[in-house]
Every structure is written in C-alpha cells, then in structure tokens.
Amino acid sequence: MPIELIEYDGDIYPQFQASGFAARFIMPFAKEVCNGVGYDIGCHKEEWKLEGSQGIDLVFPDKWDAYNLPEDQVDYIFSSHCLEHLDSWVEALEYWTTKLKRGGVLFLYLPHYDQKYWRPWNNRKHKHILKENEIVSLLLSLNYKLVFVGKRDLNSSFTIMAEKGRNNV
C-alpha cells in the first residue's frame, strides 16, 4: 500500500497532516506528564481529547473555550494545534496560567514553520506563526520552569512543556 502524499507549493507532505487530529502523534508522551485533573484545549472532538482530560472546544455543548475555562484550577493543560487559531495567543497563555495549579504542567504541541501549508498566508484558519523562542520567552516571563522544548518532529510540529512556577498568579 503506497504512502499517501500531498504536494503544496513544491513540497511533499504526508496526507495525514491535512486530516486533523495532530495530537495523536504526541499523546503517548503527553500521557506521561499530564496527570491528575486537566483540560485539553482545542481538541475539536470528544474522541480526539487527551484521555482523562476535560475537552475544551466551542463545538461542545458547554461552550467553554480558550478564553473562558471552568472556574477550577487544574493539574495540567494540554493543547495541540490550537494557539495558532486564536486571536491572541499571548492573552490565552496568560489566562491559562491562572487556571493551572502551582507546579501544574502546560503541554503545547504546535505546527512548525517548516510546513508551508500551515503558515497563515497559506492556511487562513491560522492567525499566527508560532516559534519556539517566542513562546519560551513569554513562559519565562510568566515564571514557568521550562522542562522540555522539542524541535520539529516527523509531523512538522514542535512541543513545549513547562511547569508553573511558585510565584505565578
């Protein structure tokens, strides 16, 4: 059975990158560190959310979203391929910080710039190009302890995992 490929702007990508549910490629790793009670922000479908988490997405009847989470503070926030869709990723991360318990894990999985189709001028659903150093800089200013910054993986995505510091709001 041949590997299904798509061509975009002269580059070849695996077809699955256009099918959604990018989280499936990072979930085994996320399950190792996302323990306790947590949110999966932007999961889009109930069956796509990180196992054991509360799915947060406008498609669900409760209408929680990235800027309007339940009142509780949680042990972790997992988010895959969501920040690039938001009007203000900075505002979202600042807000998510208030929803994490001290020592809680923020786990982000994001599209990498190398995948041309995911750039905002090619994919109008994406509002931002997010780069590792920009997110790390913001998280450090919010007093996170950086645990892991992963580079581009085979799904043309990268990972940032951080722990909420003791002096955060």
90-136 tens-digit pLDDT = 999 999 999 999 999 999 999 999 998 889 998 899 999 999 999 99
Q: What is the pLDDT of residue 167?
A: 62
* 50 and 34 Cβ atoms separated by less than 8 Å: yes
Q: What is the pLDDT of residue 130?
A: 95
Give CA–CA dist 65/73, Å, rounded. 15
What tokens does 134 get?
Answer: 């920009």
| Burial zone of 127 (CB within 10 Å; 0-12 exposed, 13-18 middle, 19+ buried) | middle
137-168 tens-digit pLDDT = 999 999 999 889 999 998 999 999 999 996 65
6-53 tens-digit pLDDT = 888 888 888 888 888 999 999 999 999 999 999 999 999 999 999 999
Q: What is the pLDDT of residue 166?
A: 64
164 forms bridges with which residues in the sheet? 144
Taking 3-state DSSP, the helix, strand and coil percentages for the chain, each rounded to the nearest 5, stand at 25, 30, 45
Q: What is the pLDDT of residue 9?
A: 86
Domains of the chain: 20-164 (3.40.50.150)
